[in-house]
Amino acid sequence: MLRLSSRNWCAPKAVAQLKGPVRQKSARSGSRGGTNQADQRILAQLYALSAHRKLPKVLKYSPEDLVKHNVIHRAWMFYKSEQRRERENALKVQYECMKEACDDLEQVSPELFKKATTRPRTVRFPREIRIPTDTPPNVPWDSSWKRSSENKK
């Protein structure tokens, strides 16, 4: 019986240790192509551990259909490249307009330009944040608490 360990697993050695042909029809076994239980388990482990990539089924075209397919594919790729080029040009124009507006703002008012271009410093996780817990507080309620005069409106 073959044992596979995760530390020193090697597919060729494991396959070589299988006894006899794996996919052989036999008269005594009617399930799963004639393999015994141990071999089936080993094959399932090899299948699960192997780094195979499922590829799409290869289409089989006649020569005429292959020409049609290639023409349609090239036209689609040309259309997508035109769309990409148009989008890049639009973004380039937008960027140039933004840069021109920033330059004008810097010439007109440097302090407004500085305020417009500096990013606000945000603290994502302040130290004062209370961590939510499922346990009750040590002092559940302070009945003697009164509002101070300085906090009153």
Which tens digit of pLDDT belongs to each residue from 24-69? 444 454 455 567 888 888 888 887 777 666 777 788 899 999 999 9
Dihedral sign computed on CA atoms, order 23, 28, 30, 35? negative
* Residue 19, domain extent: 11-49
Task: Choose between 55 and 109: higher pLDDT.
Answer: 109
In a domain, 136, yes or no: no
* 100 & 73 share domain: yes
- Average pLDDT in the 106-119 region? 92
Please give the pLDDT value at position 138: 78
Confidence at 127, pLDDT banded by 50, 70, 90:
low
Q: Name the one residue in this structure whose structure tokens are 């036999």.
A: 26
Is 86 a member of any domain? Answer: yes
CB 34, CB 24: distance < 8 Å: yes
Confidence of residue 152 (pLDDT cuts 50, 70, 90): low
**Is residue 99 assigned to a domain?**
yes
71 lies in the same domain as 113: yes
Task: State the Cα–Cα distance between residues 100 and 94, nearest whole angstrom.
Answer: 10
Total domains present in the chain = 2
Asked whether residue 70 is domain-assigned, the answer is: yes
68-81 tens-digit pLDDT: 999 999 999 999 99
- Do 69 and 42 lie in one domain? The reply is no
DSSP symbols for the chain: -----SSS--HHHHHHTS-S-SS---SS--SGGG--HHHHHHHHHHHHHS---PPPPPP---HHHHHHHHHHHHHHHHHHHHHHHHHHHHHHHHHHHHHHHHHHHHHH-HHHHHHHHSPP---SS-TTPPPP-SSPPSS---TT----GGG--
Q: What is the pTM of this model?
A: 0.40
